């Protein structure tokens, strides 16, 4: 059973600080990794994807991938109250199915 694990939270971070979200996956053959943001009652929206080991930066967001340790993380710098949402990690497994984590609820405190 291919799995993607996330801490459900809530993760509480002061405004302006760095929020760090983590995700581990079980399928060592996975090649593509995605972070989606989901506001309460809304649909997920893709914010980052990463394919290679290392860091990928896009504005205030940085995705980090370590395939040897089978984890992927998302860093949000200068956190804003509008970043408060549930962050879903998704992994495209070796059979090309997208496997989803249950999400981490992030709360940014003003």
Partner 1 sequence: DGGITQSPKYLFRKEGQNVTLSCEQNLNHDAMYWYRQDPGQGLRLIYYSQIVNDFQKGDIAEGYSVSREKKESFPLTVTSAQKNPTAFYLCASSIKGAPEAFFGQGTRLTVV
Can you give the binding site for partner 1, defined by CB under 8 A?
A: 4, 8, 32, 34, 42-46, 49, 88, 90, 92, 96-103
Is the CB of 30 or the CB of 79 nearer to partner 1?
30
Backbone angles phi and psi of 58, in degrees to 5: -145, 100
Three-class SS state of 80: coil
Which phi and psi angles does 22 have, rounded to 5°? -125, 155
Residue 88: which of 37, 49, 42 has the closest Cα? 37
Residues ≥6 apart with Cβ < 8 Å to 96: none
By beta-carbon proximity to partner 1, the closer residue of 34 and 79 is 34
* Half-sphere exposure in the Cβ direction for 5 (13 Å, CA): 7
What's the closest the beta carbon of residue 110 comes to partner 1, in angstroms? Answer: 26
Rank residues 79 and 84 by Cβ distance to partner 1 and give the closer one: 84
Write down the least CB distance from residue 58 to partner 1, Å.
Answer: 14
Q: Between 25 and 79, name the residue whose CB sits nearer to partner 1.
A: 25
Q: How far is the CB of 43 from partner 1 (least distance, A)?
A: 4
């Amino acid at each position: 059973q291919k799995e993607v694990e996330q801490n459900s939270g809530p993760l509480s971070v002061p405004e302006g600080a760095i929020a760090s979200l983590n995700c581990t996956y079980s399928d060592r053959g996975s090649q593509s990794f995605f972070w989606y943001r989901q506001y309460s009652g809304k649909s997920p929206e893709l914010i980052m994807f990463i394919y290679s080991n290392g860091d990928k930066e896009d504005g205030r967001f940085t995705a980090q991938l370590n395939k040897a340790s089978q984890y992927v993380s998302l860093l949000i710098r200068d956190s804003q109250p509008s970043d408060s949402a549930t962050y879903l990690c998704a992994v495209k497994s070796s059979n090309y199915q997208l496997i989803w984590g249950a999400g981490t609820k992030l709360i940014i405190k003003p």
